[in-house]
């Protein structure tokens, strides 16, 4: 299972966001998940900081177990203070457009 997540983060709370993400990555790994890639989007200083995260999990059940984990719930206040908006989409691998 692949997830494409776009996060809008309060610039004043980047430290809390990054701390949460480090904890989240550790908890994800316990459920077979991983943050495969992080892209920082270019935004103006008066806009929220934006990141795109590509996550992988072995199954929907593993992702649900991660989300229901008391361990991740303990860090939820850091996420709530830092993240303004989350856009999540389930994704599948696409074609390889590499040079022939």
Query: Tens-of-pLDDT digits for all 100 residues of the chain?
Result: 999 999 999 999 999 999 999 999 999 999 999 999 999 999 999 999 999 999 999 999 999 999 999 999 999 999 999 999 999 999 998 999 987 6
What CA–CA distance (Å, rounded) separates 93 from 56? 11
Q: How much is the pLDDT for 98?
A: 87
Predicted pLDDT of residue 42: 98
Residue 9: the pLDDT is: 98
Q: What phi and psi, each to the nearest 5 degrees, are found at residue 78?
A: -65, -40
- Identify the pLDDT of residue 40: 98
Q: Is-above-0.75 flag for pTM?
A: yes
Three-state SS for 63?
helix
CA dihedral over 28, 89, 20, 40, signed as positive or negative: positive
Cβ contacts of 21 within 8 Å, gap of 6 or more: 35
Cβ-proximal residues to 14 (8 Å cutoff; 6+ apart), any chain: 49, 82
Distance, CA of 82 to CA of 9 (rounded, Å)? 6
Pull the structure tokens for residue 38: 């992080």
SS3 43: coil
User: What domains sit in the chain, N to C, each tagged with a CATH number?
Assistant: 2-91 (3.30.70.100)
């Amino acid at each position: 299972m692949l997830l494409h997540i776009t996060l809008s983060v309060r610039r004043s709370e980047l430290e809390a966001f990054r701390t949460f993400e480090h904890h989240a990555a550790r908890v994800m790994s316990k459920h077979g998940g991983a943050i495969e890639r992080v892209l920082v989007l270019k935004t103006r200083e008066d806009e929220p900081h934006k990141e795109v995260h590509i996550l992988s999990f072995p199954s929907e059940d593993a992702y649900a177990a991660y989300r229901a984990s008391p361990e991740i719930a303990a860090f939820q206040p850091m996420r709530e203070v830092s993240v303004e908006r989350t856009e999540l989409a389930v994704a599948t691998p696409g074609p390889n457009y590499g040079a022939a």
